[in-house]
């Protein structure tokens, strides 16, 4: 009888633990570069810099969501701008995109010609996939425009073992291109 009771107690003690959901691995926090340092780097040679803020209204957010096939968060977007010798250097925007579980903070630059300029991963919070901050991966985005698919396996090669992180960075680049076009539409010339 004592053996049967002991076995039942052990089984009862093991069952709840076995049924508990698996915890997400705790990610390390990697801050690779500050925003100020990244801006100095991507706008090297600028003689003036400034920021402009824009809060998309519901209509603009809905249009962006339709273009990007994902809901757009409410709130303000900050565009960092720069000039050198009276020439516009373009825009730089920080964005957070979810990798597997955690946000990846990146700075995406867009040239005055509406092409992707340098991309920098500022903060990486996932437990795996930090290789997306490497030059070899990020340089794939240089010169891309809204006309490019910006899709993994189409025109962007994912980092092996970092598919979710690769998709997140790609989505961030695509989002910033759409934000620049939404806030600063090209002026149409009259026929």
186 vs 165 pLDDT, higher one: 165
SS3 42: helix
Residue whose token pair is 């695509």: 174
Dist CA 132 CA 42 (whole Å): 18
The token pair at 128 is 């795996």
* Beta-strand relationship, 103-110 and 48-54: unpaired
Q: Which pLDDT score, from 0 to 100, does residue 162 have?
A: 95
Could you tell me the strand order of the sheet in which 30-31 lies? 30-31, 116-124, 103-110, 87-98, 77-84, 48-54
76, pLDDT greater than 60 = yes
pTM: 0.83
Q: What local confidence, expressed as pLDDT, does residue 188 receive?
A: 58
- How much of the chain exceeds pLDDT 90, in percent? 80
pLDDT digits (tens, 9 = 90+) for 10-37: 333 343 344 444 455 555 678 999 999 9
């Amino acid at each position: 009888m004592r053996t049967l009771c002991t076995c039942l107690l052990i089984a009862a003690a093991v069952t709840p633990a076995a049924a508990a959901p698996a915890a997400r691995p705790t990610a390390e926090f990697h801050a690779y570069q500050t925003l100020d340092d990244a801006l100095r780097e991507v706008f090297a040679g600028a003689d003036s810099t400034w920021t402009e803020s824009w809060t998309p209204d519901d209509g603009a957010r809905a249009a962006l969501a339709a273009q990007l096939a994902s809901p757009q968060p409410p709130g303000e977007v900050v565009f960092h701008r720069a000039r050198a010798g009276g020439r516009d250097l373009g825009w730089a925007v920080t964005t957070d995109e979810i990798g597997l579980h955690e946000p990846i903070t990146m700075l995406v630059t867009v040239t005055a010609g509406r092409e992707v300029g340098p991309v920098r991963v500022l903060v990486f919070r996932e437990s795996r996939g930090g290789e997306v901050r490497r030059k070899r991966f990020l340089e794939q985005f240089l010169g891309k425009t809204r006309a490019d698919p910006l899709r993994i396996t189409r025109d962007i090669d994912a980092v092996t073992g970092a598919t979710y992180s690769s998709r997140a960075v790609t989505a961030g680049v695509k989002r910033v291109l759409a934000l620049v076009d939404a806030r600063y539409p090209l002026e149409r010339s009259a026929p």
